[in-house]
Structure 1
Amino acid sequence: MRFGLLDRYILKIAAGAAVILLVGLTSVIWVTQALREVDLMTGKGQTILIFFTVTLLSLPALIAGIAPVALFMATLYTLNKLNSDSELIVMNAAGVAPHRLTRPFIALTLITAALVGWMSLAVMPAGFRALRDLITLIRADFVANVVKEGQFVSLDSGVTFHYREKQGQALLGIFMQDRRDPNQPAVYIAERGQSAEADGNSFLMLEKGTIQRESRNQNSSSIISFERYALNLSALTGDSDGGAGGGDGDKVIYKPRERTTWALLRQDKNEPYYKIQEGRFRAELHNRLSAPLYPIAFMLVAFAILGEARTTRQGRAAAIQIAIFLVGAIRIGAYAAWTASVRSPIAAALLYILPLGTILLAALAIGFGSRTRVLVDRLTEPLIAPFLALAARFRRA
């Protein structure tokens, strides 16, 4: 694709608007999320470096979600600016076909789609996995260094931790109650313990103690004595996926969003956690694979509706509203399809049908050119007619 002066001019406007919108929207949302993590410093005694690391690991997910919207808004802004400055009218008068103007937008869209694909397929899973490991280390540091001696502190929903006193790096008189599973509560008691790390996991090494387990379904209980016991602190990360935190106490089981795309494609069907959460694995994989299609669909919708020159600001405002409504409907439909695909494999196909169908229809609308503009005008006329009549009444008055 060879770019001329006109293409570079339009691309400069659209790319500048897209970057500003992406940075601005991402920054605002990131700040609101970062404020919710202030407890890392105030309540868990972590450094500002850990605070920023935890919050920055959420940026790939924000960028992947905001980039298509930023591209859509940048396309609307660019086309509206060209029309307001009468540049679209001049281009049409000079014989420039409307579909010819799509070239700079297509170039920007391909860059955005590549960015979204890279974030969704590679960066996001790595970020979530790193965040999971970091939270585990924070939890270990919280247990060993932040919990005050003699205090009963709730580490998570259903988990209570206490130690009598601290001697060097060792904790003496340890008590922990784990009631996250109401049907199988457990109580850990040990004379001493010390945090340790192995194979990327954090453990609390307990010495000379007992584990009391109760099975309320079977109405039975058991007490196990031990000399040394490694308590995996990864199990205290607060997962709500029914075992994603390491149900066997020895190994961290990563959730679908924390696994690489290649791992999801080559998923072991016999894995116990996969059998429990098969729908989530399916939804996560198809959501990642379909993500790069939405920037293309959003841009084409904006261009199909606003790519033609217009002489009335009112009609253009109504057309912008229609474009926003269509993109909002597509985004909501994609979210509904993603949610439904957890339960139905057929619903996963909608994640591809929605953007591909939109791309096809929008491309046809761009090909029809002026006919599409006439159709949009007919649809928007009932919306703007009351406002035009009100304006005329004020002029007569």
Structure 2
Amino acid sequence: MSLLERYIFRRALTFSLGSLGSLVLIVWIVQALQRVDIVRSSASAAGNMFWIATMLIPNLLAGVVPFAVVIGAVQALNSLNADSERAVIAASGARNSVVIRPIVALGLSGAALILVISHLIGPMAQGAFFNGLRAVNADAITLFLTPGRFEEIQDKFVVGVGDVRGSTISNLFISDQRDPTTDLAYFAKEAQIAERDDDSYLLLRDGQVHRRTVADGAISVIQFQTYAFDLATLRPEGDGDWIRNSERSTLDLLRADATDKSVQNNPSAFAKELTQRFSDWLYPLAFALWALVVAGRPRTNRQGAGPAMALGLSGALGLKALSFVVLALIDHDTSYQILAYLLPLASIASSAVFLWADVDVAGSRLLTGLGDGLRWIGQLFRRDPAHSGAR
């Protein structure tokens, strides 16, 4: 890159890193606060909370990097116009590629980061996160529950024990009202914390499950010899796999054995996870090109920045929302996998066409008219009521 291109890249990268830090911090705090209830009964578990919540950061990064790219790129391009630098670049006869290349480089940097997180760091962090939850819940049950008392381990998840001897529990009661449609109550004469593949599980023996439907009050009773909970979320074994697909490496997903029960029971979950990992990296590049479309043209100070940031973010949010819909559809039909790749590729292609044709999207008549209309409405509200009444 030339000196000017490096200058633009550094400026866009600085804005993107600032946006990335802010977005990750906000989302991380929200996610961490949602899990505070799992450590209320344990002082030692509370000490592990920071480590557990830290394991959320890689996946949070992968989710917000595309938006940090579009925010940083639009801010950098708007600042170039505000300082008249973009107009000087155009007036000097420099090609548009002088501005395009550093922004594309920013998008490719974001894409590379997402690839590393999706295929290397993310699965390991997810495994560490759920293992941390398992350890916390195992400690809360075996060390900190008082025999004869009921403790709320999670919101609307209450556990009571008759006696605890090491990892063996007698006379266990569990009330699970986390599902707003169904109330569950588990009774077991004996339970034990067991290890499987370095993970911790709560195995219930010789008991009953009482299931009550909230809507009509209907109750069903199921007798069981053994019942298992994953201590990462205290979720019954029948509700999902022991190892989540997000914890599996990409190589494990690609080499999944067709005879594996988890593959046979839910093959679309494997297809969905792989599709997400192999398509997410396209979005930073798509958003970088979209930022160039809405904010890359030279403008004078009189013209102002226009609706570039609003248009950039709305387009990015719209595209990402469509990607979530497509991923949800893959749960029902794996043929939608191709659509998950076509969405970002179509965005990249259309943005490239707009840039090649030098289309002024932000200055189009539709958006200009909409902006004028909003300004007119704003002026109506700002008028002096007394003056308006006098007229």
**Same-fold call, TM > 0.5?**
yes
Residues 6-85 of structure 1: pairs in structure 2 closer than 5 A: 6-85=4-83
**Aligned residue number for residue 215 of structure 2:** none
Residues 1:342 and 2:317 are matched in the alignment? no
Percent sequence identity over aligned pairs? 26
1:321-366 per-residue CA deviation (whole Å, 9 max, x = no partner) reads: 3333222211111111111111122222221111101111111211
**Aligned residue number for residue 366 of structure 2:** 379
Contact between 1:140 and 1:233, CA under 8 Å: does it hold in 2?
Answer: no
**Aligned residue number for residue 351 of structure 1:** 340
Contact between 1:45 and 1:146, CA under 8 Å: does it hold in 2?
Answer: no
Residues 1:161 and 2:148 are matched in the alignment? no
Contact between 2:291 and 2:312, CA under 8 Å: does it hold in 1?
Answer: yes
Hey, what's the Cα distance between the residues in 2 that align with 1:204 and 1:69? 40
Distance 1:255 1:313, change over 3 A: farther
CA apart distance, 1:171: 6.4
**Aligned residue number for residue 216 of structure 2:** none
Contact between 2:74 and 2:308, CA under 8 Å: does it hold in 1?
Answer: no
TM-score of the aligned structures, taking structure 1 as reference length = 0.80
Hey, what's the Cα distance between the residues in 1 that align with 2:374 and 2:196? 69
Hey, what's the Cα distance between the residues in 1 that align with 2:167 and 2:317? 56
Quick check: 335-344 or 379-388, which moved more?
379-388
- How many residues are treated as equivalent by the alignment? 370
Contact between 1:163 and 1:171, CA under 8 Å: does it hold in 2?
Answer: no
Say which SS state the counterpart of residue 343 (structure 1) adopts. coil
**Aligned residue number for residue 244 of structure 1:** 240
User: Match for 1:386: what amino acid?
Assistant: G
User: Match for 1:270: what amino acid?
Assistant: T
Distance 1:72 1:123, change over 3 A: same
RMSD (Å) for aligned C-alpha atoms? 3.7
Q: 1:107 aligns with which of 99, 105, 108?
A: 105
**Aligned residue number for residue 230 of structure 2:** 234
1:20-67 per-residue CA deviation (whole Å, 9 max, x = no partner) reads: 111111112212222223334423333444110111111111100111
User: Match for 2:49: what amino acid?
Assistant: F
CA apart distance, 1:284: 1.4
Residues 1:137 and 2:132 are matched in the alignment? no
Contact between 1:257 and 1:284, CA under 8 Å: does it hold in 2?
Answer: yes
**Aligned residue number for residue 326 of structure 1:** 315
CA apart distance, 1:281: 1.9
User: Match for 2:118: what amino acid?
Assistant: S
Distance 1:381 1:43, change over 3 A: same
Contact between 1:40 and 1:46, CA under 8 Å: does it hold in 2?
Answer: no
Contact between 1:314 and 1:384, CA under 8 Å: does it hold in 2?
Answer: no
Hey, what's the Cα distance between the residues in 1 that align with 2:374 and 2:353? 31
Say which SS state the counterpart of residue 176 (structure 1) adopts. strand
CA apart distance, 1:315: 6.5
Hey, what's the Cα distance between the residues in 2 that align with 1:389 and 1:232? 63
Hey, what's the Cα distance between the residues in 2 that align with 1:54 and 1:186? 28
CA apart distance, 1:201: 3.4
Say which SS state the counterpart of residue 162 (structure 2) adopts. strand
**Aligned residue number for residue 95 of structure 1:** 93
Hey, what's the Cα distance between the residues in 2 that align with 1:318 and 1:102? 20
Say which SS state the counterpart of residue 336 (structure 2) adopts. helix
**Aligned residue number for residue 290 of structure 2:** 301
Contact between 1:99 and 1:367, CA under 8 Å: does it hold in 2?
Answer: no
Contact between 1:315 and 1:380, CA under 8 Å: does it hold in 2?
Answer: no
Distance 1:24 1:203, change over 3 A: closer
Hey, what's the Cα distance between the residues in 2 that align with 1:313 and 1:183? 63
User: Match for 1:344: what amino acid?
Assistant: D
User: Match for 1:176: what amino acid?
Assistant: L
CA apart distance, 1:139: 1.7
Say which SS state the counterpart of residue 122 (structure 1) adopts. helix
Distance 1:27 1:95, change over 3 A: same
Hey, what's the Cα distance between the residues in 2 that align with 1:223 and 1:308? 68
User: Match for 1:323: what amino acid?
Assistant: G
Hey, what's the Cα distance between the residues in 1 that align with 2:251 and 2:112? 18
**Aligned residue number for residue 188 of structure 2:** 188
Quick check: 297-306 or 273-282, which moved more?
273-282
User: Match for 1:334: what amino acid?
Assistant: S
CA apart distance, 1:290: 0.1
Distance 1:16 1:185, change over 3 A: closer
Say which SS state the counterpart of residue 161 (structure 2) adopts. strand
1:357-387 per-residue CA deviation (whole Å, 9 max, x = no partner) reads: 1111111211122xx0278433322123336
TM-score of the aligned structures, taking structure 2 as reference length = 0.81
Contact between 1:159 and 1:176, CA under 8 Å: does it hold in 2?
Answer: no
Q: 1:265 aligns with which of 226, 230, 254?
A: 254
Distance 1:390 1:136, change over 3 A: closer
User: Match for 2:317: what amino acid?
Assistant: G
Distance 1:95 1:148, change over 3 A: same
Say which SS state the counterpart of residue 367 (structure 1) adopts. helix
Distance 1:346 1:205, change over 3 A: closer
1:41-95 per-residue CA deviation (whole Å, 9 max, x = no partner) reads: 4233334441101111111111001111001000000000001111111001111
Distance 1:194 1:242, change over 3 A: closer
| Unaligned 5+ runs, structure 1 | 246-252
**Aligned residue number for residue 287 of structure 1:** 276
| Unaligned 5+ runs, structure 2 | 212-219
